[in-house]
Amino acid sequence: MLKSYLMNFGEDRYSLLTIRNGMEIDLETSLPEEWKTEFLNRKMYIKSDIVKEAKQHITPFKWSPEEYYDSDITYLTKTYNISLGISFSINTWNSKTILTVYTNNSESQFNKNFDDMAKLHLYNLLVFLRRTKRHLTIKS
């Protein structure tokens, strides 16, 4: 459902990462199963500078792999053709949820898809997630 929702904005690749109590990991993604396996095996939910940054933000932020000097980020973005991302962070008293939308579009196209309507996107995504959130629990 989230994938079809994102198609309204010209994108369809995402990951939805929830970290509860710092220990319990839920990860849903439209990326290939191999990406998910790599992400979990490399413990990117702990090590990734993008995840660390998302935990500190209360507003969406755009990023590109070139901003981070991390071999795991470089590997995953090159392998799965990711040139840019935008991460939305939702923090509650016992969990952090990070929705990241990935693209291989140009930055100008990506900006066009998101910048003009960022507040509406975030509001709609929060409402959507609240209504449809599904979890696959993975104990780390």
| Domain range annotation of the chain | 28-105
pTM: 0.77
pLDDT on residue 135: 46
pLDDT score recorded for residue 121: 64
- Tens of pLDDT, residue by residue over 105-129, are 777 777 776 765 566 666 777 777 7
Residue 94 has pLDDT above 70, yes or no: yes
Average pLDDT over every residue of 92-106: 87
DSSP codes of every residue in the chain: -HHHHHHTTT--EEEEEEEETTTEEEEEESS-HHHHHHHHHTTHHHH-HHHHHHHH-SS-EEE-GGG---HHHHHHHHHTT--EEEEEEEE-SSEEEEEEEEE-S-HHHHHHHHGGGHHHHHHHHHHHHHHH----EEE-
pLDDT of 138 over the 80 cut:
no
In the predicted model, is pLDDT for residue 20 greater than 80? yes
- Is residue 35 predicted with pLDDT exceeding 90? yes
Q: What is the CATH number of domain 28-105?
A: 3.30.450.80
Confidence of residue 140 (pLDDT cuts 50, 70, 90): very low
Q: What is the pLDDT of residue 133?
A: 58
pLDDT at residue 137 in the model:
43
| pLDDT for 15 | 94
